[in-house]
Amino acid sequence: MCQDSAPNVKTIGANCGPRQIPSHRPCRPVRIGTPCQILLEPMCTKTLSVREYSQSLPGKGPGPRGRPHDRLSVVFVTSWYPTREHPIAGVFIREHAKAVQLYDDVLVIHTSQRAGLHGWWQLDEERDDTLAEGVLTYRLWYRKTPFRATSFLLRAWGLVGAMRVLRGRGVRPNLLHAHIYDSAAATVLASLAFRLPLVLTEQASAFLSRLRGASLLVARLAFRAARVSMPVSRHLEMAIRRHGIGGEFRVIPNVVDLDLFHPPKRATDRPPVRQVLFVGLLDLAHKKGIPSLLRVLAERERHRRDWHLDVVGDGPARQYYERMVADLGIGGRVSFHGLRAKPVVAQLMREADVFVLPSLYETFGCVLIEAMASGLPIVSSSTGPIPDLVDSETGILVPPGDAAALASAIEQMLSSLHKYDRQAIAQKARRFSPEVVGATIDTVYREVLGLSGHEHRVNPRGTDAHLAGRGRLPGAQP
C-alpha cells in the first residue's frame, strides 16, 4: 500500500509514471513502477460486484424495483463529496447516490487533487461508513499541478485507469453519471474508452453569474457529451441555456431523507420564546443574506423579545457574524452552533418554530426541503427556484436583499404560526423523497440505454405526478 493511504482507506490501484496498471488477477498482488512501491492487494476471497456489495449491506436488497436482475450498474463521478476534512461537502450528491441505489447498483468515484502523491494517480476504497453511508465509494487522487490543463488531463487519465482497475474487480457498469460539469468533462475520455453513455447532474451556482474562458469551454464539452443533463431546478436550466449551451434537459431535484427529517411525533406545548432557525454556509460573500437577517432581528428587539435565533453552519464569515451580533446587542438571543450532523439538524428543525433563509441567490436550497419535511413554516427570499418550492401554505417569500420586506415577513410569521399545519407542510416534501427522485433518475437511465418493456412502479412516498421532467428521449422505446 502506498504511504499516502489514510486510515479506513484501502489503496487498490495507482500509477507511478508513464505505465498504466495492467488488469490484475483476483488472488495475485501486482507490483509495478518506481520510485514508490505500488501494491494491488490480494483478493483471496470472492471479488464482490457492485450489485453483490449493495445487496450485502444491512437492509439492502433488490429495492422497490423488484427482481435483482432488473437493476442497472451505475458509476457516479464527482469532485464534490463528503470527506473527513469536509463532511458536508457535496452531501446532496451522496443523497442522490443513496436514492438511485434503491433501484440500481451505485459505485461512487470521488476525484480530488493531492499534493505529494508519489504516482500520477491513486485509487483508494473508502471504508468509513459514516462517509460512505452504504454506498460503495472510491477516492481517486491525482497529482496536484500548478497548471489547470495538466490537472484536468491527469484527472481524465486517472478516471480511465480507475475504471480499468475496477473492471478487473468485476465492475461492469451500464453507464456513467457525472455530477457537476467539470467532472463530466473529465469523464468524457472514460466514456469513450469504455463505450459507456454519460449523463450529467448539474448543481453549480457558477451558471447563475457568468462562466467565461476555459470554464465555459469545459462546460460546453460536458453538456455536449452528456446524453441527458439533469439540472436540479428549472431556474438553473435557464441559466445554463443563457450560456449558449443546449442539449436534452430533465429537471430532477435534490433529495430529502423523510426517515430523518419529519415533524414532531406528537404536538407539544411551545415555549413563549419562538425558535427561529437558520442552516447554511457562513461565507464572506454573504450569499445567504445573514447581515440583513441580523439587523432585522436587532431592530425587532426594540419592540418584542419573544424570539431566539439558532445559526447552524460554519464558514470563513462566522467570526464576522459573531462580532456583528455583539455590536448589535443581541448576543443573548443568537446562538452559533457550528457544523452539525444531519440527525442533529433534523432534531433542531423539529424543535424550531420558523425556518429562515434570506438568500441572495440559490441553485436549489436543500435546507428548504429539509425544513419542509420537518413541517417548519418558512421565511425565505423569492430568488431562483425557491418560488417553486415554497408557496403560501408553506411560508412567506420576500424579494432578495429587501430588509423591510424581511422584517415584515418575520413579524407576520411569528404572529400567525397557528395558521400553519406542520403535517400539511411535511406532506409537500414527499415529492423530494429518495423513492421518487431515485425512480425518476432510473427512468432516465433506462431511456438512455434504450431499454424497452420497462414498467415504472409507483413509489410508496410519491406518485408519478411528482416526477419532474419525465418525458421520453427522442427515439426511446415506449
Over 90: is that where the pLDDT of 38 sits? no
Q: From residue 108, give the alpha-carbon distance in Å to each of 50, 136, 426.
A: 10, 6, 30
Q: From residue 403, give the alpha-carbon distance in Å to each of 59, 367, 455.
A: 48, 21, 50
Q: What angle do CA 293, 296, 302 make, to 5 degrees?
A: 145
Residue range 435-446: mean pLDDT, rounded: 96
Helix H, strand E, coil C: the string for 294-316 is: HHHHHHHCCCCCCEEEEEEECCC
Q: What confidence category does residue 351 fall into, taking pLDDT thresholds of 50, 70 and 90? A: very high
Residue range 298-322: mean pLDDT, rounded: 91
Q: Tell me which H or E stretch contains 326.
A: helix 318-328
CA distance 359 to 469: 26
Give pLDDT tens digits for 238-271.
999 999 999 999 999 999 999 999 999 876 666 7
3-state SS class at 435: helix
Strand arrangement of the beta sheet that strand 9-15 belongs to: 9-15, 121-126, 136-143, 105-114, 73-78, 175-179, 198-202, 228-231
Bond from prior residue into 460 cis (ω within 30 degrees of 0): no
Q: What are phi and psi of 465, to 5 degrees?
A: -65, -20
Bond from prior residue into 62 cis (ω within 30 degrees of 0): no
Decide if 76 contacts 177 (C-beta within 8 A). Answer: yes
Residue range 132-146: mean pLDDT, rounded: 94
User: In the numeric block, which cell numbers belong to residue 431?
Assistant: 415529492
CA distance 30 to 53: 24
Decide if 12 contacts 40 (C-beta within 8 A). Answer: yes
Burial class of 428 by CB neighbour count within 10 A (0 to 12, 13 to 18, 19+) = middle
3-state SS class at 370: helix
The identity of residue 256, as a single letter, is V
Residue in the structure block whose three cell numbers are 425556518: 355
pLDDT given for residue 198 in this prediction: 98
Average pLDDT, the chain: 83
CA distance 87 to 54: 22
Domains of the chain in sequence order: 9-241 (3.40.50), 274-430 (3.40.50.2000)
pLDDT given for residue 88 in this prediction: 87
Give the single-character DSSP code of 429.
Answer: G
The percent of residues above 90 in pLDDT, for the chain, comes to 70
pLDDT given for residue 279 in this prediction: 97
Q: How far is CA 128 from the centre of its chain?
A: 18
Over 60: is that where the pLDDT of 469 sits? no
Q: From residue 164, give the alpha-carbon distance in Å to each of 123, 139, 169.
A: 11, 15, 9
Decide if 147 contacts 153 (C-beta within 8 A). Answer: no
Q: What confidence category does residue 21 fall into, taking pLDDT thresholds of 50, 70 and 90? A: very low
462 bridge partner residues: none
Q: From residue 212, give the alpha-carbon distance in Å to each of 34, 37, 217, 298.
A: 40, 42, 8, 40
Give pLDDT tens digits for 360-396.
988 888 999 999 999 999 999 999 899 999 999 999 9
pLDDT given for residue 305 in this prediction: 81
Residue range 274-291: mean pLDDT, rounded: 94
User: In the numeric block, which cell numbers belong to residue 210?
Assistant: 457568468
Q: What does pTM read for this prediction?
A: 0.81
The identity of residue 123, as a single letter, is L
Q: What confidence category does residue 116 fall into, taking pLDDT thresholds of 50, 70 and 90? A: confident
User: In the numeric block, which cell numbers belong to residue 371?
Assistant: 425544513
CA distance 360 to 159: 36
Which range (66-80, 119-133, 405-419) has the least confidence? 66-80
Residue range 66-81: mean pLDDT, rounded: 83
Q: Tell me which H or E stretch contains 447.
A: helix 434-448
SS3 helix, strand, coil % of the chain, rounded to 5? 35, 20, 45
CA distance 456 to 292: 46
Which range (29-38, 141-150, 281-290) has the least confidence? 29-38
pLDDT given for residue 443 in this prediction: 95
pLDDT given for residue 13 in this prediction: 65
- Strands (E) located in 150-207: 175-179, 198-202
The percent of residues above 70 in pLDDT, for the chain, comes to 79
Decide if 120 contacts 157 (C-beta within 8 A). Answer: yes
